[in-house]
Amino acid sequence: MTDLPSRTNLMDLDREGMREFFAGMGEKPFRGDQIMKWVYHRGVSNFEDMTDLGKVLRAKLNELAEITPPKVMTEQISVDGTRKWLIEVQGGAVETVYIPEPTRGTLCVSSQIGCMLNCTFCSTATQGFQRNLSAAEIIGQVWLAAKALEHCRKTNRRITNVVMMGMGEPLLNFDAVITAMGLMRDDLGFGLANKRVTLSTAGLVPAIDKLSAAADVSLAVSLHAPVDEVRNQLVPLNKKYPIEQLMEACKRYLVNRPRANVTFEYTLIKGVNDDLALADKLVKLMRQLPSKLNLIPFNPFPGTDYQCSDEDTIKAFQHRIKSKGEFAAVRRTRGQDIDAACGQLVGKVADRTRRQAEHQSKLDLKSGIGIPVQVEHAA
């Protein structure tokens, strides 16, 4: 028996892809625009509810296409109003976080199930890596959050900013992330301004250059240290793309963006990267290009040897940066009681990298068990 061809998930398509799809069906390309409005402005995923489409077209769509976002498995709400959703995707789950503030609402979106990079201060890194998410699974997180927040119409926008800072390294899932960020910014999608969509990278230099040509979004860099010796320890990717190369890539990114800046993310870890001599070196880096600094108190997780810098050290580090004329803000921990803070997202990963087993072995040795736990791995 011949398998029936799979239907196209229209959430995988940007505006150009949607128009091409309808042209391929023998329909007018503007039908794609209609579908986008139904999906992203009204939150509708059933063709039968799209009342300005004829019955014949709805029948064709039911045969050839689908609108299938991922599914919410659980929702947790922090005492500070932060929300975290565990979202089911094929073969696993990812986490998405919404952070409400008085003047904006920021959604933190995942791009991979797990993460390929082994940053030593990040809980997500201990989960290993399974696969990249599809564009539908990425934009679907925004769609689900919008529905959950009763935000399906532009007149009642609650999501004002989206940051690609959830699970995964976005630039290692380039094509799907570009498509999804396009839908976030498209007037027929969620209509966010370019500057309100931010991609955060650990520093994949060639992909930063590729991003510059593909999308006009805000760039954030997970820096965490101003010298290679320390950054190599925290962000192993730095051994391949050291700080000098990373800074040059950031400068190139800003060449055609005269009003933009780069945001450097800097997790403060006690005794590792929080002394004032490093703050002075960080200032020298920041002066190379328009930039601002987000200081993030380290969020501990089981098995880590790192500790958060104390409050006086954090204040002193921030003051040193600001005293030199550079912008530095402390990003206060949000959603820590539901493990939604920066570096705490873990999801559900069928680990292909064996990192889960390695981390569990370390935990067992610390607790005196000394017997590694066997973990099933995806093929």
Q: Which amino acid is at 256?
A: N
What phi and psi values does residue 11 have, to the nearest 5 degrees? -75, -10
Predicted confidence at residue 358, as pLDDT, reads 53
236-269 pLDDT tens trace: 999 999 999 999 999 999 999 989 999 999 999 9
* Active-site pick, 66, 95, 115, 244: 95
Q: Which two tokens stand for residue 316?
A: 């002193």
Q: Is the distance from CB of 338 to CB of 344 less than 8 angstroms?
A: no
Q: Which residues contact 143 (CB under 8 A, 6 or more apart)?
A: 11, 39, 40, 43, 69
**Structure letter (DSSP) for residue 103:** S
206-220-231-121 Cα dihedral, nearest 10 degrees: -120
Q: So what CATH class is 8-66?
A: mainly alpha
| End-to-end Cα separation, the chain, in angstroms | 27
- Fold for 71-359, please state it: TIM Barrel (3.20.20)
What phi and psi values does residue 105 have, to the nearest 5 degrees? -130, 120
Asked about 95 being catalytic, the answer comes back as yes
Predicted confidence at residue 154, as pLDDT, reads 45
The CA distance from 257 to 254, in Å, is 5
73-78-84-85 Cα dihedral, nearest 10 degrees: 20
The CA distance from 369 to 211, in Å, is 46
What phi and psi values does residue 205 have, to the nearest 5 degrees? -55, -50
Predicted confidence at residue 265, as pLDDT, reads 97
Q: How many whole angstroms from its chain centre is CA 373?
A: 30
Q: Is the distance from CB of 225 to CB of 237 less than 8 angstroms?
A: no
Predicted confidence at residue 364, as pLDDT, reads 46
Predicted confidence at residue 50, as pLDDT, reads 96
Interior angle at CA 231, CA 226 and CA 236, nearest 5: 150
C-alpha distance from residue 115 to each of 102, 348, 356 (Å): 32, 12, 12
Q: Do domains 8-66 and 71-359 have the same CATH topology?
A: no
DSSP string, 227-268: SHHHHHHH-GGGGTS-HHHHHHHHHHHHTT-TT--EEEEEEE
Q: Which long-range contacts (CB under 8 A, 24 or more apart) does 43-46 make?
A: 43/143, 43/146, 43/147, 43/152, 45/69
Q: Which two tokens stand for residue 179?
A: 């498509």
Asked about 169 being catalytic, the answer comes back as no
Predicted confidence at residue 339, as pLDDT, reads 59
Predicted confidence at residue 80, as pLDDT, reads 85
Tell me which residues of the chain have a pLDDT lower than 70. Answer: 1-5, 151-157, 333-379
Q: Which residues contact 89 (CB under 8 A, 6 or more apart)?
A: 70, 113, 133, 137
* Active-site pick, 115, 122, 250, 342: 342
In the chain, where are the structural domains located?
Answer: 8-66, 71-359
Q: Which amino acid is at 193?
A: A
Which stretches does DSSP call E strand in the chain?
8-9, 65-66, 71-77, 83-89, 92-100, 105-108, 112-114, 129-132, 161-164, 197-201, 218-222, 262-268, 291-297, 328-330
